[in-house]
Structure 1
Amino acid sequence: MILKPAISIIVPCYNAIDKIGRCFASLSNLKLEIDLYEVIFVDDRSSDGTYELIEKTLPLHSNWRAYCLESNSGSPSKPRNVGINESRGKYLYFLDCDDQVKSNSLELLYNLAEVTNADLVRSELLVDDGKSLTIMNRLRTWSPHMTTQQRRKMIISQQSTTVDSFVRRDVVVSNSIRWPEHLRMGEDTLFLSAILAHAEKIEYLAAPSYIYNRLPSMTPASTQRYGRKELSDHLEVWETAQKILAPAGVDYRNCRLSVGLRVAIESMIFKNRGDIDQSTFEKLAGFLKINRTLVSGFNYSQRIRDVVSAAQQNDYEQFACLTRPRLLIAGYDLKFISDVIPELAKHYDIRIDQWKGHAIHDEAASREHLQWAEYIWCEWLLGNAEWYSRNVRQDQKLVVRMHRMELGRAHGERLDMRNVNAIVAVSTFFFERLLERFPSIPRKKVRLIHNYVRIERYKSTWSSKRSFTLGMIGILPARKGLLKTLTILNELKKIDPRFELKIFGHRAEDIPWVLKDTQEMQYFRECSDYITQNKLDDSVHFLGHQDITCSLEKEDVGYVLSTSESDLGFPGPESFHLAIADGFAAGGVSLILSWPGAEYVWPQEIIHDSINSIVSKILYFSKCPDEHQMSSRIGLEFIKENYNYESFVQAVVNTYLEI
């Protein structure tokens, strides 16, 4: 039982089950006698099992304790305050649960504090972004001859206000200093300001003690979004820090506002929640007008100056436009993303770099677009992705979306993966196929974002003719399996002559490359021969390219068939096959003749192992129209839940936030 340790390490926790392991490891490796320190974990009512994991770890460490709040507070401040109340050490040290403390740092901090009788010791910081370690918070001109006021000013002006202060507990308790629990942003600034204002002896350790992790995580951090609440917090923090530090001889606005305002504006741009309303904006505008002279002297980029100017001019619409990241969408065929661009535009300022072919573009125009962009989305892993991967700047974020056909091309082999932040696959099966085809692409850079369906755009009125009308959306190339669909039609007509097939899309003879391909043309001649031999000419209707959102209903299609080949070579089978979603969205049902990966995308109930199974299902529905319609509604609900455009847009937003 530890009666009075020298150091209390306070660790607030919330939903960090995939991140806290690094923290555990660093605390386990501390080079301190076990009776010299205690570790206090305070969980903010995690919902992912973090607290349970901490409890399982406690028996391994006699000087570790844990507490769990009764309800979630929404910020690390309350857990830190609980930690202060429960602490018994002479000194306090705060560590976030997704960061690390260096093994020898607490010993160094403690020894320095004891030798100098310091109330506060600040040190350097290591930032780990997964690629390199960068030293921050270094005070190159620190001198033992500096006055206390000079030390305060240097720390505020030259260090980030990170949590890693080594502070005498008596200073905190006797001055009733606590972390401000109502703030979501900037609470560390006010806590450090209060400590600096009351500390009589301040020291600096010229060595890193704390490792701040900027590694990607699937669990979003509370600081990943910025909006009305965060901006309001920052405005309060800037005013309050000024009041706290002024009596201690430090002008916070002169020392730190330049950095604080820049970080806030960058957060508005790149982490924008989109909820900064007119009222909150006007508070910012008022603050900037009052401090116009000071702010005009800040050395900002033109991007930041434009946002400041819009606020100073009280131009809310311009401000809202400027506080969106600049997203460049580049590619040749944009059919799988074009109709969601209006929704993406709510989050991004968007430009399009329309390529003339898979590897053909106006390079001068692309370079101009690239100069403007902050984020780049390459639709298809083709020449566009290859070119952008070689030309993006280090400060830009490049995401490439791969569908299917790219696995049959070599562009993925020629990517400069150092400059690609993420590659998106549209299905689970093709997530793995991508990694198999291009071993140079690291798994950690691949993301899964399914295609989306704009179901609200489809017409879906039911008619009795739907019970006997098959549909096929796209028959090119041969792997789409037209002959199998014709076989299904033929088997159905043997039982009921009312069945017919409506085919949407180009015919083989309409496409030059198909005409030149001997194998392809041979296949489609076999299909024509099959139609003739089985007297299906009056039952097969080639309707050409049409707007599927209304044509399926207009043509009374009740069944959309997916009969693609199960080829396991590259590029392979279907990756997603949007035609299946079309069928349900338009009021029919879709049926799949099993191809590899279909089970990861679509309900098992619509996947069939044989032509006979599909024939039986269609015959059943034709006799039971109520069941047919019920199955369509179930499929539609599945699409609404899994492939809605709102989820797609949010996944794109989350991807750029994460990387």
Structure 2
Amino acid sequence: MKISVVVPCYNAVDKIGRCLDSIRAIDFSKAEYEVIFVDDCSTDGTYELLEEVCTEMPNWRLLRLEANSGSPSRPRNRGIDAASGDYVYFLDCDDEILPAALKDQYELAHRTGATLIRSELWAEDGRNRRLMNQLNEWSLELSISERRELIIGKQSTVVASFIKIDLLRRNQIRWPEHLRMGEDTVFLATVLLHSDSIEYLPRPTFVYYKLPSLTPASTQRYGRRELRDHLEVWATTQELLRRVGINYLRSRLHVGLRVSLEAQIFRNRGDLDAEVFNKFHEFVVENWEIIKNFRYTERLKELLSATRNGKFNEFKLLCRPRLLIAGHDLKFVSDAIPELSSAFDIRIDEWKGHAIHDESESLRHLEWAELIWCEWLLKNVEWYSNHKRSNQRLIVRMHRMELGRHFGERVNVANVDAFVTVSVLFFERLIERFPDIPRHKVRLVDNYVRTSGYRESSHEDRLFTLGMIGILPARKGLLRVLNILSDLRKQDKRYRLEIFGHNPEDVPWVFRNREEMAYFNACAAFIESNELASAVAFNGHQDVKSELAARNVGYVISASDSEFGFPGPESFHVALADAFSAGGIGIVRHWGGSEYIWPAQFIVESDDDIVERIAHLNGDDETRCWLTSEGKNFVEKNYGVAKFATTVKDLFQEIF
């Protein structure tokens, strides 16, 4: 056995496929190399998948740790212990080995007697593929010290090294299992220290993937532990390489420190404490003569200045990514800004219309921004998708109205990192309407409601008061609710309807639309002919957080027409969340997609069902109180503003 390929795995079922395919394509005799997969107690089916595929390949083996270790180091060490090859090659389960990698490295090692071979790699981020780890200064005349210096100074410390197994065992070289971040740097430094024959292969041997995943790797979050690890790694590596005359801090710290600072901006877990920050402060102060010469952006220099001066609170504020929120009518996102501000430094580019803005102001905002959130899929997305820089990330949130517009047809889709929809149905409708948007870029992020601040009514009139929040356009189903009211009043004249939101004559496009006005004229005629004028109140635009209680609304009805055609009746209908948050009950006359948003106990199939449901609940206090509590708890758990803010933060971290 000449080579052992060691592949640590953990919860990688959605990303290991390309790795397996690449291993199957290796151009080397299967009798002369083995692949050792070491599973770190996966819980997503990775172990079962590998168990199956390993039975198909005679030179593949599968091991499993007794307990999850929390990092790939222990699986790699288990692989070293189990390896029977003369050389070991480490490969991560979400990367891809190239077909000639083993042959090229083995031939070079066999010819030169090398105990360590480093090579080039392809880096793939989903947008570009670039060649990395090239050592153009490499030559046969270089001394062993110069080779070490060149590798540590010019290459990233990726795990994919080709190493003589005897070197590791004889010197008891192990992957540092207590480190979650930077373990590859310490391991490589230790190998370099003990290797007396080092070679470089001027060709890539693998593809390093840096892509979003359904199962994020530990390296996708950065906080207290990761910074503490980095501080230990820098000190340990400095001490190791000092023995062979290499000043690691001068050669490579500029890269490691930049990676740490950027991670604290864009992958921040938010758990950094004063103790670890002070250690970081001490490290920066101690090594300032080196660090002050690093060529960093002004953004990173600000972070370093706060660190050097020991200003912990200032540092935390500076670590927030710069988020620009852009669009017209920001009512669906503005209420979440206080929660978003804990994770982001926020500026607003508020447009004056769907396609109207001050371009010079937008350009100033764009120069500042690192992340961009476009609310509504309108002209704002067209503009930002064609003006953003490659290092900025752009997310677009679509509601419903945009599917009836043409702005999405002119968006530079390649420059949009994610499209957000607020419900399952409209996830599919977005792709149907704009087929140029690839499915893998679309995300579901539920709408939200701030459940605090709602007044509740205990007046007995709430049992007989229906509410509608928004009656425009006609598809909202006002006439249907008027019919429901009429039927209920046949049972009890105390039933009434409180309407909140603009009236048809208040909205120019509705007022000018013949079909829309014909519908609302029919509603007016129905009110008159059924003598409902005293039972229907048009309250105009109101703050429903207080007015639902002030007018004793107990039931809010969502009666949109499910057969209204494309794009559909409702994307979410926040009015129901308003009802539950105010201590009332929301009732949905089923419209397409409502079953993916609201619990089944609040959805009925017909107008008659709504009449029957309300009449029944008014005679069953226990069930009515239970439903009121269930609705409020459901909204708080699933559609609370804190959850929305966390989801937005996670989404930006995923795509960065």
Normalised by the length of structure 2, the TM-score is 0.98
**2:235 maps to 1:231:** no
Deviation of the 1:376 alpha carbon:
0.1
Report what 2:139 is aligned to. Answer: 143
For residues 274 and 32 of structure 1, what CA distance do their matches in structure 2 show?
Answer: 46
For residues 276 and 587 of structure 1, what CA distance do their matches in structure 2 show?
Answer: 39
For residues 624 and 353 of structure 1, what CA distance do their matches in structure 2 show?
Answer: 50
Deviation of the 1:568 alpha carbon:
5.0
What is the 5 A alignment of 1:223-622?
A: 223-622=219-618
Report what 1:218 is aligned to. Answer: 214
The aligned amino acid for 1:55 is E
For residues 550 and 87 of structure 1, what CA distance do their matches in structure 2 show?
Answer: 70
3-state SS, counterpart of residue 124 of structure 1: strand
Q: 1:508/1:568 Cα in 2 relative to 1: closer, same or farther (>3 Å)?
A: closer
Deviations 1:296-342 (A, max 9, x none): 11111111111111111111122111111100001111111111111
The aligned amino acid for 1:299 is R
Report what 2:63 is aligned to. Answer: 67
Report if aligned partners of 2:475, 2:564 keep a CA contact under 8 Å in 1: no
For residues 47 and 647 of structure 1, what CA distance do their matches in structure 2 show?
Answer: 25
Report what 2:79 is aligned to. Answer: 83
Deviations 1:503-546 (A, max 9, x none): 11122222233222222222111111111110111111122222
Report if aligned partners of 1:467, 1:625 keep a CA contact under 8 Å in 2: no
3-state SS, counterpart of residue 533 of structure 2: coil
The aligned amino acid for 1:465 is D
Runs of 4+ in 1 over 6 A off after TM superposition: none
Structure 2: any 5+ residue segments left out of the alignment?
A: none
For residues 131 and 349 of structure 1, what CA distance do their matches in structure 2 show?
Answer: 26
Q: Which has the larger displacement, 58-67 or 409-418?
A: 58-67
Report if aligned partners of 1:407, 1:437 keep a CA contact under 8 Å in 2: yes
Deviations 1:415-467 (A, max 9, x none): 01121111101000001101111111111111111101211232234332221
The aligned amino acid for 2:285 is K
3-state SS, counterpart of residue 46 of structure 1: coil
The aligned amino acid for 1:142 is W
**2:198 maps to 1:202:** yes
Deviation of the 1:67 alpha carbon:
1.4
The aligned amino acid for 2:558 is S
Q: Which has the larger displacement, 189-198 or 554-563?
A: 554-563
Report what 2:160 is aligned to. Answer: 164
For residues 504 and 204 of structure 2, what CA distance do their matches in structure 1 show?
Answer: 67
Deviations 1:552-598 (A, max 9, x none): 12221111001112245343210000001111111111111121111
Report if aligned partners of 1:588, 1:629 keep a CA contact under 8 Å in 2: no
For residues 313 and 630 of structure 1, what CA distance do their matches in structure 2 show?
Answer: 56
3-state SS, counterpart of residue 103 of structure 1: coil
Counterpart selection for 2:30 from 31, 34, 43: 34
- Percentage identity across paired residues of the two chains: 53
The aligned amino acid for 1:178 is R
For residues 615 and 608 of structure 1, what CA distance do their matches in structure 2 show?
Answer: 10
Deviation of the 1:374 alpha carbon:
0.4
Report if aligned partners of 1:406, 1:571 keep a CA contact under 8 Å in 2: no
Deviation of the 1:274 alpha carbon:
1.1
For residues 540 and 141 of structure 1, what CA distance do their matches in structure 2 show?
Answer: 84
Deviation of the 1:32 alpha carbon:
1.1
Deviation of the 1:547 alpha carbon:
1.3
For residues 468 and 624 of structure 1, what CA distance do their matches in structure 2 show?
Answer: 14
For residues 345 and 76 of structure 1, what CA distance do their matches in structure 2 show?
Answer: 34
3-state SS, counterpart of residue 373 of structure 2: strand
Report if aligned partners of 1:138, 1:206 keep a CA contact under 8 Å in 2: yes
For residues 123 and 130 of structure 1, what CA distance do their matches in structure 2 show?
Answer: 22
For residues 636 and 318 of structure 1, what CA distance do their matches in structure 2 show?
Answer: 38
Deviations 1:457-487 (A, max 9, x none): 3223433222111000011111111100000
Report what 2:633 is aligned to. Answer: 637
Deviation of the 1:42 alpha carbon:
1.0
For residues 327 and 394 of structure 2, what CA distance do their matches in structure 1 show?
Answer: 13
Q: Which has the larger displacement, 20-29 or 125-134?
A: 125-134
Deviation of the 1:131 alpha carbon:
3.3
Report if aligned partners of 2:476, 2:569 keep a CA contact under 8 Å in 1: no
